[in-house]
Chains A and B, each alone.
Chain A
Amino acid sequence: MNDKDKFFREFNDSLHRLGRFTLILGSIFLISVPFLVGMINEVSPDGAGFIKGFMRVGTIYIPVAIVEFLVYAPMLGVGGSYLSFITGNVTNMKIPCVMNSQDIAGTSPGQPEHEIISTISVATSSIVTTLVIVVGVILMVPLQPVLSSEVLLPAFDNVVPALFGALGLKYFIKSPKLAVIPLVLMTAICVFMPGMINQTSVLLLPSGALALILGYFLFKKGKL
């Protein structure tokens, strides 16, 4: 092992120590936010509601988190992974940003230079996002009365349909074969069993599982 490799190995070990420490601390801070807000307002989280909600969310998002970790960590490197997973917007921003920087720098996978560019890129991207949003939020504060006005209420009450309409189109045109059966089945359930309409969080699990099974089947047949 030459001096450069030895230095880089020690550097990565120090990033692992720093990354673990800061991620543990960051997670504690993030988890403490709802509790602090609750303390200030003299309310506490509903334990049963939390467990019920977490079971539904975890069933969907823990596998997604594991897949994202396994796929993205090698692309991001050590420092880039620690930063990306705590700063978020991984797929839509960090990955394209890192790939762009590595392309410009002309580094190749496996080189220490590649990982260093990745960490610099993720750190810069996160700092810029934070600054842009800070400026935006400062500008939004005076607009607060407008944002909370009665006239805009239908807009905010329909933010979820707006998201899934847009997202649905994006994903459905990506793979229409995969979308047909879950969409028809979920529509039939909601039309013939109207009680399920307000239980979409329950429907998400069979719908997601069905799409996964169909996806696997189509993938194996080479039709995806």
Chain B
Amino acid sequence: MNTQYLQSVNSPMFYLIVSLVLAFITLMCFVFLFKSYKAGLKIGMDKKILTKAITSSATFTLLPSLSILLGVVALSGTLGVPFSWLRLSVIGALQYELNVAQIASQAIGLTGLNVAEMSIGSFVTIALVMTIGILGGVFCCIFFLKKYMTKINSKPSADEKKEDSSPSFGSFATTAMFIGLCAAYIGSYIGKLFPGGGGDHMPFMVAVCAAAAMYVFEYLIQKKNMKSLENFSLAASMLIAMGVAVIVNIVL
């Protein structure tokens, strides 16, 4: 067990740094909230509607937030609690974090995101790649949002309706890209099953268990109309498969 690494990525000082960054971003949210609330009143919006927007958003967010918390649990074993807490409270998303951490770990010469191979030096490089790699959307806002929104708002509404009725390839591009990513990873787990790939069955078995759990969730969501499960399906499928890995390791 890589105790020294785990102690460094869970140090009290790291918790303090993360708390300060989160405090700043939360303060930013409060400022935007108050400014918009006041502006809403000024343009004649009903106070009840504004309050309802706050309460409905808060209740709507509760369940997905619990799912994000499960994601923090899933990430914390390899990247430590404070960094997982930071990444999933602000800016990140579970899918992005793990993929980028895996890419970055291989770029610095590790076989993957394995605790045994990690050091605080490799962690710092991985964390930097994860941070800068996700700032694309933020930079787009800083440099282009004003111009883009002005252009959007100056469009006649008829044109907008025309555009909305025929979706562009852009809306499918992200799905296509993610299918490509998943294919590469699943392909590598199948490759590991063979003697040339090391005969390691665990990654493929975990992936299959996660897929099976996700299939059950998708069935319940789509066929049994249990829409509330949508928020939990990814994190819960992952945790079920990770639990199976622990059990298989103990049994075998």
Contact = CB atoms under 8 A, between A and B. Distances in A.
A214 B138 CA distance: 30
24 contacts: A29-B20, A35-B124, A49-B122, A50-B125, A57-B103, A79-B35, A81-B149, A83-B28, A92-B64, A100-B57, A116-B50, A119-B32, A119-B36, A132-B66, A140-B81, A157-B78, A159-B113, A160-B102, A168-B186, A169-B210, A175-B179, A198-B112, A208-B181, A216-B169
A79 B1 CA distance: 46
B113 A171 contact: no
Interface string A99-124: 01100110001101100110111111
Contact of B153 (A91, A110, A174): A110
B145 A100 contact: no
A121 B206 contact: no
B interface residue count range (under 10 / 10 to 19 / 20 to 34 / 35 or more): 35 or more
Contacts of A212: 173, 176-177, 180
Contact of B137 (A85, A92, A121, A203): A85
Interface in A133-155: 133-134, 136-137, 140-141, 144, 147-148, 150-155
A11 B149 CA distance: 14
A120 B185 contact: no
A179 B183 contact: yes
Contact of A120 (B33, B146, B176): B33
Interface in A204-224: 204, 207-212, 214-216, 219, 224
Given A40-B14, A125-B58, A136-B66, 13 more contacts: A26-B21, A33-B131, A70-B148, A119-B36, A123-B33, A124-B53, A128-B57, A132-B68, A154-B245, A157-B78, A164-B210, A166-B214, A190-B191
A69 B139 CA distance: 10
Nearest to B97: A163
A1 interface: no
Contact of B17 (A33, A65, A200, A207): A33
B146 A16 contact: yes
Contact of A203 (B104, B108, B125, B188): B188
B6 to A, nearest CB: 5
A190 B204 CA distance: 13
- Pairs of residues from A and B, 4 with the lowest C-beta to C-beta distance, nearest first: A190-B191, A65-B136, A156-B77, A186-B187
A141 B120 contact: no
Contact of B33 (A81, A89, A119, A175): A119
B229 interface: no
Contacts of A124: 33, 53-54, 57-58, 61
